Amino acid sequence: MRRRFFSSLLALFAFAACEDSIHGGWLVDRPRVLGARVSAAADGNRAVLGPGERANVEWLVAAPEGPPTLSWTFAACVTPDGLFARPRCDGTIVATGSGASASEVVSTELLVPPADAIAGAKELLVLAAFCSDGAPVLDPRAFTATCANGDALLASALLRVEGANANPPPPAMRLGDAPLVPDDPHASCDVATKIAPGTTLDFVHVFGDALREADESITLSTIITGGKLDRQYSTFDVEEAAPKEARIEWKAPSDVPATGRIVRLYALLRDSRGGASFARFSVCVRPQ
């Protein structure tokens, strides 16, 4: 029996769910791969690829101090057999790549092999490693990797090659009643929405019918670089009617400099059939 692999955000959601209850999985307190979005190079809305098509895999990588400078490498293979198999490449490596990035969104590209080269598989597993100090050395058989000094950041994504599914549109968020504008990671307190230290407000997302296709549930993950959220995940189940409002309480950090501190919010959507999207926002916490 071939297991339907956890992919990109779903796998990271599952991992972060443990952190959420133990260490606060909603907090970027170290460099982290938050999720991934797979799409067709010819159509960024399409989450399912065909044999011979070129795919984009965008990895969302965050760090407390801002966009990290990273070297990366990846390897792709057919997903391994077995119930609850862990991420690894048992068979032939069908695609590889490497490069460097100074952005929160690390874009990688691969060519989906012909159907006969992957024995009619419905899914490919993409394993990635990221290093801030030198190029990562990835062992896809064991799914381990090293940097020049220490271990690499690891992440996996599932690339589907059968069926049809669209990626959901990027999530829209409010802070209380004020809409937040998606921004670049270098936003300053001069342009970001401003609140006082220690303020408690809700981040708000409205799940609508436009987010999902038939028989699809949607999960929202919210992750921040400062303060405290009351939870990381919000869900929009198949049987629930739209619109559904999700409110995630946030207490802003209290200890900030007089010039203010930028807190980053990362909002990630994942549907139950492999589609994904994300958006990034900035809030300035500054004494008034």
Distance CA 157, CA 51 (A): 17
Q: Where are the domains of the chain?
A: 8-160, 174-285
Indicate the pLDDT class of residue 84, thresholds 50, 70 and 90.
low
Q: Which of 21-25, 53-57, 178-182, 199-203 has the lowest mean pLDDT?
A: 21-25
Please answer whether residues 38 and 56 qualify as being in contact, where contact means their C-beta atoms are separated by less than 8 angstroms.
Answer: yes
Mean pLDDT of the chain: 89
Distance CA 32, CA 108 (A): 17
Indicate the pLDDT class of residue 209, thresholds 50, 70 and 90.
confident
Q: Is the predicted pLDDT of residue 4 greater than 50, yes or no?
A: no
pLDDT of residue 3: 36
pLDDT of residue 7: 38
Q: Which residues of 106-116 are buried (b: 16+ CB within 10 A; e: fewer)?
A: bebebbbbeee
Q: Is the predicted pLDDT of residue 258 greater than 70, yes or no?
A: yes
Indicate the pLDDT class of residue 286, thresholds 50, 70 and 90.
very high
Indicate the pLDDT class of residue 89, thresholds 50, 70 and 90.
very high
pLDDT-above-70 percentage for the chain: 91
The yes-or-no answer to whether 8-160 and 174-285 have a common fold is yes
pLDDT of residue 20: 39
Strand partners, 124: 78, 159
Tokens 């460097």 belong to which residue? 100
Starting at the edge strand found earlier in the chain, the sheet holding 32-40 runs 32-40, 54-62, 105-111
Indicate the pLDDT class of residue 199, thresholds 50, 70 and 90.
very high
The vertex-150 CA angle with 149 and 154, nearest 5°, equals 125
pLDDT of residue 29: 94
Cβ neighbour number for residue 259 with a 10 Å cutoff: 10
The vertex-110 CA angle with 117 and 116, nearest 5°, equals 10
Distance CA 60, CA 68 (A): 11
Indicate the pLDDT class of residue 83, thresholds 50, 70 and 90.
low
pLDDT of residue 50: 92
Distance CA 282, CA 288 (A): 18
Please answer whether residues 266 and 66 qualify as being in contact, where contact means their C-beta atoms are separated by less than 8 angstroms.
Answer: no
**For range 117-143, the mean pLDDT:** 94
Give CATH for domain 8-160: 2.60.40.10
pLDDT of residue 227: 97
Q: Is the predicted pLDDT of residue 21 greater than 80, yes or no?
A: no
Give CATH for domain 174-285: 2.60.40
Indicate the pLDDT class of residue 1, thresholds 50, 70 and 90.
very low
Q: Is the predicted pLDDT of residue 42 greater than 90, yes or no?
A: yes
Distance CA 158, CA 84 (A): 15
Indicate the pLDDT class of residue 210, thresholds 50, 70 and 90.
confident
**For range 88-115, the mean pLDDT:** 95
Distance CA 95, CA 113 (A): 8
Q: Which residues of 71-80 are buried (b: 16+ CB within 10 A; e: fewer)?
A: bbbbbbbbbb
pLDDT of residue 100: 96
For 145-183, the pLDDT digits (tens) are: 999 988 899 999 999 998 899 999 999 999 999 999 998
